[in-house]
Amino acid sequence: MYKTLFIDFDDTLYDTRGNAELSLREMFAHFQLSKYFPQPDDFYRSYWDTNVKLWDAYAKGEIDRDYLIVERFRRPLAEGRDAKGQPFEPTRDYCLEVSDVFLDMCADKPGVVEGAHELMAYLRAKGYELYMCSNGFHEVQYRKLRACGLLDAFDGVILSEDAGANKPSKTYFDYAIRVSGASASETLMIGDNFSTDIMGAMQYGIDALFFNRHPESFVSHEAVKYEVSSLRDIISIL
């Protein structure tokens, strides 16, 4: 039925959250942020809350990449206080430096979601055309693919920066179909983000498989073709 699979990367195959948590702690130590945050968890919590909101806005085209890169660190850092109780006022250049170090640390982490390598080997053996479809940054995504050993698993990598638009936009999927040479009716989108991966594909006319990593806390508000909570469950479907 399907010839082509569009597969999201971050938190679908690559353990972005887990790798980023490790990197965030390394970055916290590198910049000695304990001077401003006696309780590191206060910084981590603020970072994740901010990061989720900004990536959602980025996917919708409400903010650009440069704004995201600076603000996801400026906002949580600005909550810090020095020994005298004075607020920390991070400059734009400082936030960019923090971001560069953080992304460099993230890009070399090899962690994948359980079952990722097994699934990709299975799909390759079945003869599907496999394309990674991601809103992630160009220079980081290729490093992460190499670090986790999945670069050669794909026939192609389709990034939003190359498409000129993010998932879930029609422009992104137009580009993905054109680059892959796929037919929408013979393509399946696999991803963990319901709004960008699943709704984007469905609105375009592409079937979707929702990898719901947290079914205990997220219930689909739209009917989807397939839904799984484990990558290994995909093998029984495809």
What is the DSSP code string of 70-102? HHHHHHHHTT-B-TTSPBP---HHHHHHHHHHH
Give the type of residue at 156.
Answer: G
Nearest alpha-carbon partner for 206 in 116, 153, 117, 131: 131
Choosing from 107, 124, 158, the residue where a domain stops is 107
Do 97 and 119 lie in one domain? The reply is no
pLDDT on residue 182: 98
Distance CA(148)–CA(163), nearest Å, equals 24
Count Cβ atoms within 10 A of the Cβ of residue 22 and give its class: 0-12 exposed, 13-18 middle, 19 or more buried. Answer: middle
> Mean pLDDT, consecutive 10-residue segments, the chain of 238 residues?
97 96 97 95 96 94 95 97 93 97 95 98 98 93 96 97 96 98 98 96 97 82 91 96
Dist. CA 21–CA 84, nearest whole Å:
29
pLDDT of residue 118: 98
SS3 state of residue 7: strand
Burial category of 1 from C-beta neighbours within 10 Å (exposed 0-12, middle 13-18, buried 19 and up): exposed
Please state the φ and ψ torsions of residue 227, each to the nearest 5 degrees. Answer: -145, 130
114 and 225 part of one domain: yes
Choosing from 82, 107, 132, the residue where a domain stops is 107
Do 159 and 76 lie in one domain? The reply is no
CA angle 171, 175, 180 (to 5 degrees): 150
Please say which residue of 92, 107, 122 terminates a domain.
107
Query: Which residues share a beta bridge with 158?
Result: 133
Residues 195 and 201: their CA atoms lie apart, in Å, by 9
pLDDT at 79: 96
Residues 163 and 214 in one domain: yes
Domain span at 27: 17-107
Q: What is the pLDDT at residue 221?
A: 78
Distance, in Å, from the CA atom of 208 to the CA atom of 168, rounded to the nearest integer, reads 12
Angle at 103 between CA 77 and CA 100, to 5 degrees: 65
- The number of domains in the chain is 2
pLDDT on residue 219:
77
User: Are 21 and 66 part of one and the same domain?
Assistant: yes
Asked whether residue 163 falls in the same domain as residue 221, the answer is yes
Two tokens, residue 62: 């409400």
The answer on 99 and 143 residing in a single domain is no
**Nearest to 53, CA basis, from 37, 39, 71, 77:** 71
Output the pLDDT for position 223. Answer: 86
My answer on whether 140 and 76 are in the same domain is no
| 101 and 134 together in one domain | no
Q: Give the per-residue pLDDT at 27.
A: 97
CATH number of the domain where residue 75 is located: 1.10.150.240
